[in-house]
Amino acid sequence: MNILLHICCAPCAIYPVKILRAEGLEVMGFFYRHNIHPFTECLKRQEALASYAQTTSLRVIYQEGYDLEGFIQKIAFRESARCSICYHERLKATALMAKHGKYDYFSTTLLYSKFQKHNEIKAIGESVGKTVGIQFYYHDFREGWQEGVETSKGLGMYRQQYCGCIYSEKERYFKSRMLTIEPIEPFNNLTI
Ligand code: SF4
């Protein structure tokens, strides 16, 4: 039996790949790129994954192209629902590829993250699987959170500081930067 596993980044792939292999599945990775901004960050994550994949003999399909514009257009005016839209886009792309490639299952490393909306990812995966006609493989990979963190650090793997999209980059850095930036004359009497 084989499975197409959507991989968001190398650190998040370590534990799911180990478990899926232990369960007897042949794993093929799929790296989705449109939601990772800017492009230089996307390349850093892709390179980290390629390097890890080589050490563990994991085959990976790297998405072609980089549709940042299409991603932003889907989110615009629906920013509060952006993660739901993003999960759906990534899982739908994975399911369609898995169906086309005649895989038995599809799944995602998003199920490993303690910072993602786990139940929603599961629900979207199952729904997309029914629509496309391929089974979504569910496992609560969060049980291996600490193991994955320690392994990735031990390997010196690149570990990103924000989820992926430009909105999440702002959430990660904007508030903390604003607290430390000293206003410059003549604006130092204004509230920003
Ligand atoms: S924060 Fe993460 S899950 Fe949410 S839209 Fe951005 S990349 Fe997607």
Average pLDDT of the residues in 93-109: 98
Which pLDDT tens digit goes with each residue over 15-43? 999 999 999 999 999 999 999 999 999 99
For residue 75, which atom of ligand 1 is closest to its CA? 5
**Ligand 1 test: best mutation among 6, 35, 80, most atoms within 8 Å of CB?**
35
Q: What pTM value is reported for the model?
A: 0.91
Q: So what's the pLDDT on residue 175?
A: 76
Percent of the chain with pLDDT over 90: 91
The radius of gyration computed from the CA coordinates of the chain, to the nearest angstrom, equals 18
Query: Residue 188's pLDDT band (boundaries 50, 70, 90)?
Result: very low
Answer whether 62's CB lies under 8 Å from 9's CB. no
With a 6 Å cutoff on the Cβ, whether 12 touches ligand 1 is no
Q: Which ligand 1 atom is at minimum distance from the Cα of 110?
A: 3
How sure is the predictor about 165, in pLDDT bands with cuts at 50, 70 and 90? Answer: very high
Pocket test for ligand 1, best of 83, 169, 174 (most atoms within 8 A of CB): 83
Strand 26-31 and strand 59-62: the pairing is parallel
Beta bridge partners of 135: 105
Pairwise CA distance, residues 155 & 132, whole Å: 37
DSSP 8-state assignment for residue 32: -
Proportion of the chain above pLDDT 70, given as a percent: 91
- 124 burial (CB, 10 Å; 0-12 / 13-18 / 19+) is buried
